[in-house]
Structure 1
Amino acid sequence: MAADHVLGDAHAKLTLLEYGDYECPACIQAEPLMQHLVDTHRGRLRIVFRHFPLVEVHPNAELAAEAAEAAAAQGQFWPMHHLLFAQAHHLKPAALVGYAQSLGLDMNRFNAEMGDRIYTQRIQIHRRAGERCGLRATPAFFLNGKAVDVSIGFEKLDEAVRAALKMA
């Protein structure tokens, strides 16, 4: 999908797609593993992140996703992404502005884009794609298009990546 955010080698044999929410406790827990997987399997695995804010239970998740998109427009998606997960309990609008400033973003542009909510549609495109896959909760992972069940622990994700790499 054109609105995807990709980390890792574009020609990697494996693609791990995550649907996530910046306020989701399980997504916050999964973030270090995602970073570990990228670092450990450099060149063989790429990570794709799509927004799936659960606004019904996480009131700041959608605005945080929009802040990530505003940062992406200035080439800073992944730094903002990592910062949002690191500060997931502090995602009110003033905090988001502070994170943008700490990344050295053009604040006039960031504030204008956030004020106009120009990334809401992109977030909804991600969410609708997840809903078409039957998603109702986060995080959700797909390895080369196949769902990976992490309901009993994130070690299943690591195991799935290792197994797929042996087959690739």
Structure 2
Amino acid sequence: MSNQLKPAVDGQDHSQGAQGAPLVLVEYGDYQCSYCGEAYPAIKAAQQELGDKLQFVFRNFPLAEAHPNAQQAALAAEAAAQQGKFWEMHDALYEHQNQLDSAQLAQHAQQVGLDVDQFKSDLQAKAGADKVEADFESGVRSGVNGTPAFFVNGQLYNGNWQDGELLSFLQSQLQ
């Protein structure tokens, strides 16, 4: 199993925070995964605490066999990205993990301010499916076998992300 992120973070990734930050945290996540849902506030806390010292990148890793709505939710995030609202949809999906069927995805789109007709069209677009597939394949090449999976500065993070441990680890990398 590889411990290296493949490929490295680039302009194709969904990213928050300062480009060139000393810490780059990449999450491979599944919007229907309860563990990813639990990790969501830990990531938000790390972003809040570390500010411009942290760049956060999200890559889709829908585990469709275990989570029947995960693929469609990932496509919804990519459809929102077409209207410049990836992060708003990302947050809505994690904050409403038990509401991921098609009708509910359209409601989330409306709530985050998307043109819903455009969203529904983009949901079917090949570009979104290609992005989700590319993210998933990069996870496989990087050794991801479950979610959430984290990489810090290109290296697989095997530690606990709960109870503030991810934040503590990130802070230790700044010293």
Aligned partners of 1:6 and 1:47 also within 8 Å: yes
Matched residue, 2:68 = 59
Shift of 1:4: 0.9
1:157 paired to 2:163? no
**Larger relative contact order (C-alpha < 8 A, sep ≥ 6)?**
2
Shift of 1:153: 4.0
The runs of 4+ residues in structure 1 deviating greater than 6 Å are none
Matched residue, 2:77 = 68
Distance in 2 of aligned mates of 1:160 and 1:83: 27
Matched residue, 1:135 = 144
Within a 5 Å distance, the mapping from 1:2-151 to structure 2 comes to 2-116=11-125, 118-151=127-160
- CA distances 1:96-117 after superposition (whole Å, capped 9, x unpaired): 0000011121122111111345
- Greater shift, 76-85 or 106-115, is seen at 106-115
Distance in 2 of aligned mates of 1:88 and 1:154: 21
Distance in 1 of aligned mates of 2:113 and 2:24: 30
SS, match of residue 3 in structure 1: coil
Distance in 2 of aligned mates of 1:75 and 1:42: 22
Aligned partners of 2:42 and 2:161 also within 8 Å: no
Q: Percent identity?
A: 38
**1:64 is matched by which residue type in structure 2?**
A
Distance in 1 of aligned mates of 2:165 and 2:88: 26
Distance in 2 of aligned mates of 1:118 and 1:40: 34
Structure 2 unpaired stretches of 5+: 1-9
Shift of 1:152: 7.6
- CA distances 1:146-166 after superposition (whole Å, capped 9, x unpaired): 111145845332222011112
SS, match of residue 15 in structure 1: strand
Distance in 2 of aligned mates of 1:12 and 1:103: 28
Structure 1 unpaired stretches of 5+: none
Shift of 1:3: 2.6
Aligned partners of 1:148 and 1:156 also within 8 Å: no
Distance in 2 of aligned mates of 1:38 and 1:133: 24
- CA distances 1:14-72 after superposition (whole Å, capped 9, x unpaired): 10000000011110000001011111111101100000000010010011011101111
> Normalising to structure 2: TM-score of the pair?
0.89
